[in-house]
Structure formats: C-alpha cells, structure tokens
Amino acid sequence: MSVYDIVSHIKRDETPAVLATLIGVEGHSYRKAGAVMLFHEEGTIGSLSPGCLESDLQLRTGEVWKSGMPETVEYDMLSQDDFSWGEAVGCGGKIKVVLEPVKGELRNLLLEAHNLMTSGQSVILRRSRADGSYAYSVESAAGAQETRAVGGWSEASFATLLVPKPRLVLFGPGHDARPIADLAVRAGFRVAITDWREGSLRHDFAAAERVICSPGEAADRLHIGSRDYVLICSHQLQRDRIFLENIIKHKPCYIGIIGSKARIGMLLDGLDAPETLYAPVGLPIGGEGPEEIAVSIIAEMIQVRRSGSRKQPKGADNDESCRNLSGGGAE
C-alpha cells in the first residue's frame, strides 16, 4: 500500500483513525524511516513490520485517539537475549514509532494533501513538537520521486513526503493484459487505458481512466508526463508506431513494449530509442503465460520506480538478449 492509499482513506468526519510513522531505525528493520501506516475502525492500511508489532501498536491507538495527543513508542530488538521481540521479529533492530490521532489540524491538512496528490502534486507534511503535541504544515514538493521521510528524523521534528500514485498507461490492451493491470494496482500504480477501438475499453480492467482516441492523440488527451509509465501492448504495428513516436516526445520515465525482438526491431526502425525504453519488457524470470509475464513486467517497473534510474542490472544477466520474455521468439 502507498501513502496515497493511506491518505485517501482519511474521511472528513471525525471517524477514529491513528497515523503511525516510523521515525527512527537502528540496525536492521523491515521498513525504513518514513514508512507509515493507518489504524482505523475497519482495520489497518500499510505496515511497519512483518506483522509482529502491529498488534501492540493497535492496542495503543484507542488511548491515543481518546487523549488527542501523540505518543512515541520504541521497540528494542537488538539484544540477542530478547526472545520476546528479537526471535519473533527476526530483525534484530531498534525502531521508534510516533502515533498521531488524525483529527483537527492534521486531518484537515491530510485532506488538503489528498486533493493536491489527486491533481498530480507532491507535498511534504511537516511536524514540530509544541506543548506536548505537534504543529503541522504542508508545503509543495515539486520533483519528488518516491514516498519517503524528508530530512532528519526525531521525536521533536520530522516530515513525510506524500506523492501521488505513479500512473501506468496501457495502450491497446487485450484480455492478456488484464493480469498486468490487476497486479499494477496491487503494486501501487494507478492504471489508465487508451485505445482507438471502443469495444476494447469494455474489458474488465482495474482502470481509473479510459480514453478512446487515435494513437496520435492519446499522449495529449492523457497529459502524459515524466512521472508516467507507459506499456505498448496493442500488437498493431502501425498504430503502435504512431503512438510510440508521439509518446517519446512527452518523456515518460518508462516505456515498455510487449513483443518479440523481431517485431520490436521493425517498430523502432529509424527511431532514436530513449534511455527509458524497455523492449521487450520484463525482468528475466523465465515467466510463461499472462500472469507470470505480468509479474516480470511489474517487477521491472518497481525496480525503475525504486532506483529512480534505468542504470540497474536486469537480474544477474547483462546480455543484450536478457529482455526476452519466455514465448517471445521470432514471429
């Protein structure tokens, strides 16, 4: 779950909710400083551990909500003799968590942040200790790439970067692309579909946007930009070419093409391939069938998302042919 999912769950009414933020890590930890999760009436969103600390934190949320005051909790799992935590967690680290009741100023600012994130903007939520509670502020974070804490972390002052979900644009998807859309949503992407065929948009995809237009209009209609991920999967060579020529101009951070090396060679003939092009797509896991190939594609997108750079090894193999997916032989 992304921070966007957590913020999206905040309601305007005073529904009980407590935000947990990991502000300190010493030694090994399941999550890094800046990770957040939300405790609410219907359950939880996100995680801070493999599942061993959440129950204890849950027990504290009732009093935090009732008092209206934040609480700092520290878990020390460094001692090898501490079987109550160390063995159960298997992490052997020390972490510090701040629990904050989502009410008043914090709730209002999170609602404001959600509106900004929905419009594609990144923001920073800052806290500073004041009279036992926190003073909050929200500011722009233009150009931010990933959800993480910003600056140093301490109980007295810390900040969290809130970024919109990255968007995956599927061009001309068929039924075999449904596992890609489903897995992308589960991995924290927002899915958009564009096609020139009205009938294809009736497929049961987990898509937040659906646009019917010519391949040459799609980039402008969807306002594709540098934070978007694009996957070309229509298998219509001429239309794929038109779409690709237009999409390159908008410089998305990831352009993937599904197909064999022979077909992709024809598609790219005469074009200067950008560094953000992945063709064929997918990490070399030897996947077979739509579901396994979807795993390889989304895994590659996550690698790009987390590294912020294309200069990452594609698995352990740097050979030119390592982008081949199983079954992607010459047509």
Residue 327: what pLDDT?
33
Report pTM.
Answer: 0.69
Output the six-digit token pair for 248: 């390159």
Range of lowest pLDDT (3-17, 276-290, 294-308): 3-17
The Cα angle at residue 198 between residues 196 and 204, in degrees rounded to 5:
115
Residue 325: what pLDDT?
36
Cα–Cα distance, 327 to 294 (Å, whole number):
13
Averaged pLDDT, 72-92:
62
Averaged pLDDT, 208-235:
92
Cα–Cα distance, 87 to 84 (Å, whole number):
7
Residue 5: what pLDDT?
83
In the chain, the domains with their CATH numbers are: 3-162 (no CATH), 167-323 (3.40.50.720)
pLDDT of residue 149 exceeding 50: no
The Cα angle at residue 40 between residues 104 and 45, in degrees rounded to 5:
115
For the segment 100-132, what is each residue's pLDDT rounded down to a tens digit?
Answer: 999 999 999 999 999 888 877 889 999 998 887
pLDDT of residue 167 exceeding 70: yes
Which letter, b or e, does each residue of 6-17 get, where b requires 16 or more Cβ atoms within 10 Å of its Cβ? bbbbbeeeeeeb
Residue 122: what pLDDT?
87
Cα–Cα distance, 190 to 59 (Å, whole number):
33
Contact call for residues 171 and 257 (beta carbons, < 8 A): no
Cα–Cα distance, 246 to 216 (Å, whole number):
6
Averaged pLDDT, 237-256:
95
Cα–Cα distance, 193 to 206 (Å, whole number):
9
Averaged pLDDT, 150-166:
79
